[in-house]
Amino acid sequence: MSAFAAPRSILVAFHPSLARAGELAESLAAQARAGGVSAEVAPLTDSSVQNGDAFMERLRGAGLLICVGGDGTMLHASAYACREGIPVFGVRMGRLGFLTESVEANVAADLARVLAGEARLEPRTMVQVHVGESEPLHALNDVVIGRATLGRTISVEARIDGVLLAEYRADAIVIATATGSTGYALSVGGPILHPSSTEMILVPVAPHLTRANALVLPGEARLRLSVERGYEAVLGVDGLHHRPVGSGSVVEITRSPRTVDFVRLGPETEFYQNLAVRLGWLRLDHVLDTPGQ
């Protein structure tokens, strides 16, 4: 972890389909300008990921990317930020957010602290995905190989560092980072990793005649997934990129050279408190009444 130096310029991205997101983005930009920081506002949509040159041009040179939306919007923003090494500060407007740091009601005060240099950087590990000779894709959250046809399973051979692990016949295979451990992987029985972890998680979804154990892999592991002959599947990367992986296709997943820095205000241990509240293990009023909080 390292301290975050106050930026000289920021870009505020927002999801245009969320009510009040654009208005809040403009308000945050105005707050930054009032403090002597250069600030611009830009919408961030699904199509931006496929045709993002214009957005990247606006992002280059910024010292901070503020993202107004939910976790999906944060993944979109991070896909750009990791290419330029620009930190991301998330503002939640959705129902549940593990990636965002602030909420609409508190963001003015939180942004003031960020601009005053009171925040820290929390680096997040990513994975890269190779399919054949195509350029690698990079995932902050997860990689999913799932069935292409409703009602049919996929069959995937999994090898770790060249060693055969299993031949899964299942609805899908999820490979998640520590960041993605609280997403799809969690919903299908995977473990939760601390955000600073570099490990990967492999979880089969609804396996047929195979145990459904999740597996935690070292960050430097090389995972090779082969779609068996006679089966068709679809590859999803962070929910942003989708492509068919036909019979006999090979998908290789390793740790990415890219990372994403999240801007955080609380201590590292705040992750556990947020986790307990967001998963319903503790009530927020109980946390606030706990000595030392």
286-to-277, 282, 291 alpha-carbon distances in Å: 9, 7, 10
**Which member of 53, 71, 142, 171 is catalytic?**
71
- Active-site residue 71, yes or no? yes
CB 19 within 8 A of CB 76: no
- For 259, list phi and psi in degrees, rounded to 5: -135, 165
**Site of tokens 């068709």:** 232
CA 256 to chain centre: 13
Strand pairing of 2-3 and 38-43? Answer: unpaired
> Which DSSP symbol is given to 37?
-
Cβ within 8 Å of residue 292, ≥6 positions away: none
Q: Tokens 């990247």 sit at which residue?
A: 56
- Give CA–CA dist 96/86, Å, rounded: 24
| 238, 142 contact by CB (below 8 A) | yes
From 247, 46, 218, 225, select the one nearest 145 (Cα to Cα): 225
Active centre residues (catalytic): 71
